Structure 1
């Protein structure tokens, strides 16, 4: 458990260091994500992005347990 927490912390540090380049990826603006903009209101629901990240995380965890 301790090793997993350390790896997650390192992943957050790496993601934070690479954020200027990672923010240019189209994650969060995929087809299927709902974006509604009105005058004083913005609603964003990342359905496709959530599904994609869930599948990716599931595969990573499945591979790490093998």
Structure 2
């Protein structure tokens, strides 16, 4: 259980760090990505981008196996 929590935490940190670079490629601005402002803070929920990146990692994993 702890390994999964640690894995998800690290993946979220990597995605957050890579987000400015990925936005230049169009990831983060897909239909299905939600961005709204609440109490002066911008909240970003990248549903479609996460799905796209997950599918790419899955396909890459299948090819390398």
TM-score, shorter chain, exceeding 0.5:
yes
Provide the rounded CA distance (Å) in 1 between the counterparts of 2:36 and 2:29: 13
Note if contact 2:23-2:29 (Cα within 8 Å) is conserved in structure 1.
Answer: no
Structure 2: runs of 5 or more not aligned:
1-20
TM-score (norm 1): 0.59
Larger Rg: 1
1:62 alignment counterpart: 62
Q: CA RMSD in A?
A: 2.0
- Count of aligned residue pairs for this structure pair: 46
Q: Deviations over 1:25-54 (max 9, x none)?
A: 111111100100245121100000000000
Deviating 4+ runs (over 3 angstroms): none
